[in-house]
Amino acid sequence: MADFTEDQIIRYSRHIVLPQVGGKGQKKIRESKVLLIGAGGLGSPAGYYLAAAGVGRLGIVDQDEVDLSNLQRQILHRTADIGRPKTHSARDRIIELNPDVEVVPYQTSLTSDNVMEIIEDYDLVVNGCDNFPTRYLLNDACVLADKTIVDGSIFVFEGQATVFKPHVGPCYRCLYPEPPPPGMVPSCQEAGVLGVLPGIIGSIQAMEALKLILEIGEPLIGRLLLYDALATEFRILKIRRDPDCPVCGDNPTITELIDYEEFCGLRPARC
């Protein structure tokens, strides 16, 4: 613990006394670099708890500005932040909470041109961006660069979380090899959602990231956690790597990044 200040030892003392963490674990947390994709409903609680835990560097990718209708679930942003870039208000909030964390904002969308360069500097990617183009692009990039994704998604009352660790467990394409053709996506209208649901899934994503950093517990590699907020039920489904997967399979056919079009064409990709 020699290289932690006295204040830092007090700040993280409740972790340090856990046998699964200890001084060594806290050092691993401090040396970790985590990239958050999206400072929205999932990224907000994940960002808060990763920062509170003391991760060394937190990168935040988001292209949007804060809108009034975001505030029902995106707790990194306040009323006064409306109209500001989300990565800026996220950075301000995280630094207020824990100035030890180095926050790197990327106020941009992910594209085949920038994704490899952005993920390169990070150990882990926490994906809070639930749209097809970003999901496929990020998945392929992380398989090619051998980066683990902690994935989360929500729909109305249901949430899911899993970990895609390349070549150890399945990737997103093992489950869904190709995006659906544009005409098959029924509607791109934003669906209703209770703010607490992305709250729970985003917090679980932070937990998974910490478990991977600390190498403790049973992370969700090859397992899909399902949460039904209406029934208050958690279930686990086993998911497998597909040897014929076009990107992580034994004979991959995808060796370059693909920019998929946003299907509905009405609005840009959103987190």
Partner 1 sequence: MLTDRDRERYSRQILMDRLGEEGQERLKSSTVGVFGCGGLGTITSLYFAAAGVGRLVLVDSQKPDLSNLNRQVLHWEKDVTEGVSKAESAKYKLSNFNRDIVVEAHTAMVTEDNIEEFFGETDMVVDCLDNFESRLLLNRFCIETGRPMVYAAVHGFYGQLTSIIPGKTPCLRCIFPESPPPEPFFPIIGVTPGVLGLLEATETIKNIVGLPGTLRGELLIVDLLSYEMGKVKTGFDNQCSVCGKWRK
Binding site for partner 1 (CB under 8 A): 7, 10-15, 17-18, 20-21, 45, 48-49, 52-54, 68-69, 71-73, 75, 78-80, 96-99, 156-157, 190-197, 199-200, 203-204, 206-207, 210-211, 216-218, 220, 223, 225, 228-234, 236
Tokens of 11: 């700040």
The distance of closest approach from Cβ of residue 260 to Zn ion in the complex, given in angstroms and rounded to an integer, is 17
Task: State the DSSP H helix or E strand holding residue 174, giving kind and residue range, or none if neither.
Answer: helix 172-175
The strand pair at 148-155 and 158-164 is best described as: antiparallel
Looking at beta carbons only, is 187 or 255 nearer to partner 1? 187
Specify whether the CB–CB gap between 196 and 229 falls below 8 A: yes
- C-beta of 217: minimal distance to Zn ion in Å? 24
Residue 46 interacts with Zn ion (CB under 5 A)? no
Q: Could you give the C-alpha distances from 131 to 45, 50, 192, 264, 268, in angstroms and in order?
A: 19, 23, 16, 11, 10
Question: What distance in Å separates the CA atoms of residue 119 and residue 37, rounded to the nearest whole number?
Answer: 10
Q: Smallest distance from the beta carbon of 45 to partner 1, in angstroms? A: 6
Q: Which is nearer to partner 1, 5 or 111 (CB)?
A: 5
* Per CB under 5 A, 212 contacts Zn ion: no
209 binds Zn ion (CB under 5 A): no
Q: Which residue is listed with tokens 């990168």? A: 59
Provide, rounded to whole angstroms, the least separation between the CB of residue 207 and Zn ion. Answer: 24
Task: Please state, in angstroms and rounded to a whole number, the distance separating the CA atoms of residues 271 and 268.
Answer: 10
Pairing of strands 233-238, 223-228: antiparallel
Q: Are 163 and 148 in contact (CB under 8 A)?
A: yes
CB of 177 to Zn ion, least distance (A): 8
Per CB under 5 A, the list member of 36, 110, 171, 206 interacting with Zn ion is 171
Query: Residues 34, 142, 174, 271: which binds Zn ion (CB under 5 A)?
Result: 174
248 binds, among partner 1, Zn ion, none (CB under 5 to 8 A by kind): Zn ion
Nearer to Zn ion, 125 or 174 (CB): 174
- Name the minimum Å distance from CB 202 to Zn ion: 24
What minimum distance in Å lies between the beta carbon of 173 and Zn ion? Answer: 5
Encode 24-53: b = buried (16+ Cβ within 10 Å), e = exposed.
ebbbbbbebbbbbbbbbbbbbbbbbbbbbb
Which helix (H) or strand (E) segment holds residue 97: the answer is helix 86-97
Nearest to partner 1 of 186, 192 (CB atom)? 192
106's tokens: 């990327």
Stretch binding Zn ion (CB under 5 A), from 11-19, 63-71, 160-168, 245-253:
245-253
Report CA Rg, the chain. Answer: 18
Binding region for Zn ion (CB under 5 A): 171, 173-174, 245, 248
